[in-house]
Amino acid sequence: MTEPTLRHERSEAEAAAFALPRDRLPWTIRASNQFGRLLIGSSTRVSVSGLEHVPKHGALILAANHISNADPILIANWLTSSLGRPVHWMAKAESMEWPIAGWFMRMNGAFGIRRGAADMEAFRLAKSVLDDARVLGTFPEGTRSPTGALQVAKEGVTLLALRTGARILPIGVIDTDLFWPRGRKIWRFGVLSRGRIRMQVGEPFVLERLVGADGRKEPLEDVTTRLMLRIAALLPPRHQGVYEPPLAAGGVPTGVLRGSVR
């Protein structure tokens, strides 16, 4: 009797991701989280709310706005312990070599995607993480905002959510762009950090794509907008950007269909 063959040979990034346990935190992640909290906490005040919404089991997509290199460090160090399991982040391969930030990403389950690699390769890797009931960390915008406000998001996270059925945990990251501004190699210290940084966690939800009476599927752009509105609702106006929710007469954000998120 022959053994079943694998569907594909795992890439280096995929092998690194699946080397971590699925349902518990190894001591390396626990230690780096404690060190990261001490390091960031000694540089600025950190405020976190909504951790009671964090699911403990099952496939999960973390979806956050992205305004600073400090974002993955903040989320990893203050959210991972509540999850009780590793978060797998897709990151640019070169970012894994950044001082401090790169080290934290490697220690906390990030895997590098080569610049120029096929989109399908990255998508397949992310989907395999979710199919194994793990946690995937994402920034739907795809890159840091140059202004601190939400940019038009890409559709990759939307497709992952629709094809896997994974729940999405919306996360709002606030004022990290003041703490670690774009273009700086390291964050600000003391009074230069301008107060505090904040993370607000929303309630998890499942994203669905509606089908009209004519049988036509809802445009992916509209589904992505609903995802981003969930994140925007956790942010102050200066961070909401293109997803600032203008309310129609019925109290529903303009261009958003009722009942399409549960």
Mean per-residue pLDDT of the chain: 81
pLDDT (mean) for 155-163: 95
What confidence tier does 250 reach under pLDDT thresholds 50, 70, 90?
very low
Range in 83-97, 122-136, 218-232, 243-257 with the lowest mean pLDDT: 243-257
pLDDT (mean) for 174-183: 86
d(CA 238, CA 50): 21
Whether the CB-CB separation of 188 and 194 falls below 8 Å is answered with: yes
d(CA 54, CA 84): 10
CATH code of 196's domain: 3.40.1130.10
Whether the CB-CB separation of 85 and 135 falls below 8 Å is answered with: yes
pLDDT (mean) for 193-199: 76
Which domain, by its residues, includes 24?
12-243
pLDDT (mean) for 226-235: 96
The verdict on residue 256 lying in a domain is: no
Q: What is the pLDDT of residues 42-56, one digit of tens each?
A: 888 899 999 999 999
The verdict on residue 94 lying in a domain is: yes
pLDDT score recorded for residue 148:
94
Q: What is the pLDDT of residues 3-40, one digit of tens each?
A: 444 455 556 666 666 778 888 888 888 888 888 888 88
Residue 90 main-chain phi, psi, to 5 deg: -90, 125
d(CA 50, CA 65): 16
pLDDT score recorded for residue 21:
82
The verdict on residue 214 lying in a domain is: yes
> What pTM was computed for the model?
0.83
The verdict on residue 252 lying in a domain is: no
SS3 166: coil
Number of Cβ within 10 Å of residue 189's Cβ equals: 11
d(CA 102, CA 108): 10
- Residues belonging to the chain: 262
- According to DSSP, the β-strands at 87-92 and 111-113 are parallel
**Percent of the chain's residues with pLDDT above 70:** 71
Residue 60 has pLDDT above 90, yes or no: yes
The verdict on residue 106 lying in a domain is: yes
Residue 249 has pLDDT above 60, yes or no: no
pLDDT score recorded for residue 54:
96
- The number of distinct structural domains making up the chain is 1
The verdict on residue 255 lying in a domain is: no
The verdict on residue 139 lying in a domain is: yes
What confidence tier does 138 reach under pLDDT thresholds 50, 70, 90?
very high
The verdict on residue 175 lying in a domain is: yes
